[in-house]
Amino acid sequence: MSAADLDRAAELTAPAPAERGSGRLILAAFARNWQARAGIGIVVALVLFCFAGPLIYRTNQVTVNLNLKDVPPGAGHPLGADDAGYDVLGRLMVAGQSSLELGFAVAIATTLLGTIYGAIAGIAGGIIDGVMMRIVDTLLAIPWLVLLLIMVNIFPPSLWTIIALLTLLSWLGVARLVRGEVISLRTRDFVLAAKTMGSTTNRIMFRHMVPNAIGVIIVNATFSIADAILALSTLSFLGLGLPPPHADWGTMLSNGLNDLFNGYWWLVYPPAIVLIITIVAFSLIGDAVRDSLDVRLQRR
């Protein structure tokens, strides 16, 4: 084995145990955190409720049944029925599918787009960085609801267009964060050391920068799930949400609010509570990830 090979082997093996160790520390801190446990527990329960629930609790969510219009909670309909005669409990499950799918899809798309864009801007630097960041600033300067109100008129709303629109509006924050991380990491000694050892830009990027920036990225992704679900509910309230055959918690809630003053509380509080619990759960996970990554906070 040549000296160069030895060096290479040393480079490959040396950081790995340390990294695994710190990863395990972070995981341990995450597992100790009550917010993390509560958040993940709630999310698992919600996913089961929405995706496995309809298999056990079968309801008609397709045809309108006016005999059941606004039936209060009771036998056969634990949470009553809405103004089209749909069982509210069953509808919560079906609506949750769209809400959760949208949340996860937007978070994944946002994270990928934002990370790549931010990393390119951060590594390129100079004029390219300047132009790329001014584009981000421009989009950030217009309130997202204003942009959405215009764009919803251009693209007819469906689950996929709303996912695409929300992604287009929410990758900006990730891009800024990742660019900032990359710029601050670029000047660190370990990057210089890797460069001196002859690492390629790609290797520095994926071996050194991405693992160091991953914390910020994950925290942001968790929050963007919550933000997307909230944004969809606001759109539904303004009448620009998913079109009728679809259901989502926001639409259920805003429809229910029309009947709040008629005393039909079962159309308002169930979707409101599920919606808020979902957002709380994802925010708890986000907070917990951030806390377990923050070394200084652990020491205190």
Partner 1 sequence: MGAYLIRRAGQAIAVVVGVTVLTFVMIHMEPGSVARSILGIRATSDRIAIFNATYGLNQPLYKQFFAYVSQVLHGNLGTSYYLSQPVSTLFAQRLPRDLFLLGSSTVIALAISLPMGMYQAVRRGGIMDNLLSAVSFTLYCMPAFFFAVLLVAVFAVQTHIFLPEAPSGTSIGSMLTQPRALVLPIATLTLIQVAGFSRYMRSSVIDTLAQDYLRVARAKGLPERLVLLRHVLRNSLLPVVTIVGLSLPGLVTGAIVVEDVFNYQGMGLLFFDAATHHDFPILLGSTLIVGVATVLGNLAADIAYGILDPRVRYVRG
List interacting residues with partner 1 (CB under 8 A): 134-135, 137-147, 149-151, 153-154, 226, 230, 233-234, 237-238, 250, 253-254, 257, 260-261, 272, 275-276, 279-280, 283, 296, 300
Six token digits for residue 216: 């910020």
Nearest distance, CB of residue 299 and partner 1, angstroms? 9
Residue 80 is which amino acid? G
Q: Which is nearer to partner 1, 212 or 234 (CB)?
A: 234
Q: Which residues of 169-184 are buried (b: 16+ CB within 10 A; e: fewer)?
A: bbbbbbbbbbbebbee
Structure tokens given for 233: 């509910």
C-beta separation of 269 from 72 below 8 A: no
The answer to whether residues 242 and 157 touch, using CB atoms and an 8 Å cutoff, is yes
Whose structure tokens read 């079906």? 94
Residue whose CB is less far from partner 1, 59 or 222: 222
The phi-psi region of residue 201 (left if phi > 0; otherwise alpha if psi is between -120 and 50; otherwise beta) is: alpha
> Are the C-beta atoms of 280 and 35 separated by less than 8 Å?
no
Q: Least CB distance from residue 138 to partner 1, whole Å?
A: 3
- State the Cα–Cα distance between residues 75 and 80, nearest whole angstrom: 9
Residue among 153 and 201 whose Cβ is closer to partner 1:
153
- In the bound complex, what is the minimum distance in angstroms from residue 261's beta carbon to partner 1? 6
- Least CB distance to partner 1 at residue 226 (A): 7
Rank residues 44 and 238 by Cβ distance to partner 1 and give the closer one.
Answer: 238
188 Cβ partners below 8 Å, 6+ apart?
Answer: none
| CA–CA separation, 70 and 68 (whole Å) | 6
From residue 278, give the alpha-carbon distance in Å to each of 34, 175, 196, 217, 256: 17, 25, 48, 20, 19
Is 204 or 274 the residue whose CB approaches partner 1 more closely? 274
Phi, psi of 72 (to 5 degrees): -70, 165
* Secondary structure of residue 91 in the 3-state scheme: helix
Tell me how far, at minimum, the Cβ of 151 lies from partner 1, in Å: 7
Give CA–CA dist 134/54, Å, rounded.
Answer: 47
CB of 87 to partner 1, least distance (A): 22
Taking the complex as a whole, the smallest distance from the CB of residue 149 to partner 1 amounts, in Å, to: 4
Nearer to partner 1, 7 or 137 (CB): 137
Give whichever of 90 and 271 is closer to partner 1, judged by the CB atom: 271
